[in-house]
Amino acid sequence: MTFNVDRTTVTEGDIVEVRWDCSGAERVELKIDNGYKATVLPLEISGSKRFRLHRSKGRTSLTITAWKDGKHGSKTIKVRVTDIPTTHAETVDNQGRKVSGIQQWWQQTKLRYQSLPSDKRVAANVTMIVAAMLLLTLLSPRLLMLGLLGLLFYLLYVLWKKN
């Protein structure tokens, strides 16, 4: 039985060519085990196949097993699979300055707020005023009156403003 691969070290996503010759065998199988999942494929008695090796726990085992007269023999080759190198991406503004996660979140929140229909914007404003009012009353219960006055003036403004 002969069994070999064209290379034993690859980067994730590369293709490996497997060649075998099990002359005289009745049945041949190839087991591919990447550490997460094992797959068994029936093969011809001799030939070659190409496989793309994806996710792996560092090594992928390729085991060929041949059966003849009720007995079997196998051979294993391990292929080292290295992770694809990744690059760190960052968001920059129009002037080329790095944008922090908080700034990015704030920009997205402002865009979402601006795309709301007017009635939902009013509801969002009232929600923010009530939330601020509740936080202020934690400091001093007397500030509840100030918050209620702020809410009243905001609602009057919404009623009287022209669209």
Question: Once rounded to an integer, what is the mean pLDDT over residues 26-42?
Answer: 93
Which tens digits make up the pLDDT trace of 73-96?
999 999 999 988 777 777 777 787
Res 98: pLDDT: 80
pLDDT in tens, 43-54: 999 999 999 998
Res 163: pLDDT: 61
Structure tokens that stand for 99 in this block:
């944008």
Residue 65 has pLDDT above 90, yes or no: yes
- On average, the pLDDT of the chain sits at 89
Q: How many CB atoms lie within 10 A of CB 63?
A: 17
Rounded to whole angstroms, the Cα distance separating 22 from 71 reads 13
pLDDT of residue 92: 77
Nearest in space to 157 (alpha carbons), one of 107, 131, 110, 121: 121
- Note the pTM of the prediction, 2 decimals: 0.54
d(CA 14, CA 34): 14
Look at residue 110 and tell me whether its pLDDT is greater than 80.
yes
Taking the CA atoms of 93, 95, 100 and 103 in sequence, report the sign of the dihedral they define: negative
Count the Cβ atoms, other than its own, within 10 Å of residue 111: 9
pLDDT band at 10 (very low <50, low <70, confident <90, very high): very high
